[in-house]
Structure 1
Amino acid sequence: MSLRAFHIVFVTVSTLLFVFLTVWAFAFAADRTAIITTLGAISAVCAVVMPVYGVCFYKKVRNIVL
């Protein structure tokens, strides 16, 4: 697996983790403390930013031939 493919897989897995943390923090957490709410909010922001970063990375390295 090339470094480019690994990077795309890593961004995808990270995005899924952030989505999971967001859903867990706001829907399934047993106690809604300030830390869990903050974790959910940060994860929600990262779940939006990571795919944007992934698209920018893909556009940048699409034309690189090794």
Structure 2
Amino acid sequence: MVELIKISDLVLLQVIIDALESRAIRFRVDNAGMHALMPLPGLMDSRILVDEDDLPAARMILNDLEL
């Protein structure tokens, strides 16, 4: 799996997760709850990882969301 994006905004994280799920893209979220425990931007950001085969489609989703 490769990193698609690092994000600290939990609402935006959920929007991206919903978009990936709706298009059946295989992904994993690391550090999803850590930002709530230690809200330091850049230090404990959530990381969205996608399967290499799905990376182009996932990047298109981010582009459509204007991220």
Q: Tell me whether the two structures share a fold, i.e. TM-score over 0.5.
A: no
TM-score w.r.t. the length of structure 1 is 0.33
Higher helix share: 1
Higher strand share: 2
Structure number, greater radius of gyration: 1
Q: Which has the higher contact order (CA 8 A, sep 6+)?
A: 2
TM-score w.r.t. the length of structure 2 is 0.32
